[in-house]
Structure 1
Amino acid sequence: VPVAMWDFDHCDPRRCSGKKLARRGLIRELKIGTRFRGVVVSPKAVTVVSPNDRDIITRDGLAVVECSWARIDEVPFSKIASPNERLLPYLLAANPTNYGRPWRLNCVEALAAAFYLTGFDAHA
């Protein structure tokens, strides 16, 4: 399953979960303006990730937006649009920066949640 992210360089590269995945070759970095046909986990989405998204993820992959929650208003979401933007359901973050805060997941948590919700337990 293709996994990708748009990185806005808001985070400390040593602590950033998305950058750690990139350094290990586990995620493809997308340039701003690059379209992605798979499911994109986005805080601006209206539709929630569901098992119905499994076919889209199988065919086209899963992507996240790597940015700081404190600077979310600076992200040009119109330039990373996808026909399949999805919102995660109410989940609490387990990362050290936003521990216990609802919806404040880092990239790895968001990817794991989306994979799990769509039936890709092994990827989660």
Structure 2
Amino acid sequence: MELHVRYEGDDDPKKCTARKLARFDECELHRSHRATPYGVVLNPHAEQALSPADADHAKLVALDCSWETAEEAMFEMAGEHRALPFLVAANPVSYGQPFRLNTVEAFAGALCIFGEREHAEDLLSKFRWGHTFLELNEEPLRRYSECETSAEVVEIQQEYLDAGETE
């Protein structure tokens, strides 16, 4: 699966996972909405959850920007918009926070849901903490990947959200 990033460039370049992926030729950076290709857009504001049913697309698109500027309008790109389900960040900036994934974590989570775990492992291997993302999210990623529809993914996600409220 081709990986594309709508790159804003507003984060610290030394911590930017999208830039590092691009240096390894793992993704292509695009500086405008118009230049960004059509595909499955990972969008936390999307109304539909990502599921294995979306794996038939050839391109996966993420927005790389600061969480402070990640408003809904930033995601106005052509494509099939999908929200990643509940996953926990492993990166040093947002460690342990649900839904606060950086670009490589978002790509890796989506690839695992699509059944492309080896591709996800390859991406994460470029980061010292990368394996931790897969360890922290082992069970939900496996369960999401076994779903057939977005509705099933949302049901499983709700179990994790409900469990978090009781803790």
TM range (shorter): 0.7 to 0.9
Q: 2:165 aligns to what?
A: none
> Is the aligned partner of 1:8 residue 2:5?
no
Q: 1:73 aligns to what?
A: 71
Q: Is the 8 A contact 2:5 2:61 kept in 1?
A: yes
Per-residue CA deviations over 1:58-115 (Å, capped at 9, x if unaligned) read xx2111100111221386322x232x11100011111100111110000110000000
1:120 shift after superposition: 1.1
Q: Is the 8 A contact 1:49 1:118 kept in 2?
A: no
1:25 shift after superposition: 1.6
Per-residue CA deviations over 1:17-69 (Å, capped at 9, x if unaligned) read 1111112221111231225322111112111111101111xxx2111100111
> Is the aligned partner of 1:87 residue 2:83?
yes
Q: 2:102 aligns to what?
A: 106
Structure whose residues are more often helix by fraction: 2
Q: What CA RMSD, in Å, does the superposition of the two structures yield over aligned residues? A: 1.6
Structure 1 stretches of 4+ moved >3 Å: none
Q: Aligned runs of 1:2-41 on 2, under 5 Å? A: 2-34=2-34, 35-41=36-42
Q: 2:51 aligns to what?
A: 50
TM-score by length of 1: 0.88
Unpaired runs of 5+ residues, structure 1, are: none
- Distance in 2, matches of 1:24 and 1:120, equals 19
TM-score by length of 2: 0.66
Q: Which has the higher contact order (CA 8 A, sep 6+)?
A: 1
Larger radius of gyration between Structure 1 and Structure 2: 2
Please tell me the residue identity of whatever aligns with 1:119: G
Aligned length: 119
- Distance in 2, matches of 1:64 and 1:86, equals 10
The alignment-based identity, stated in percent, is 38
- Distance in 2, matches of 1:26 and 1:103, equals 23
- Distance in 1, matches of 2:70 and 2:31, equals 18
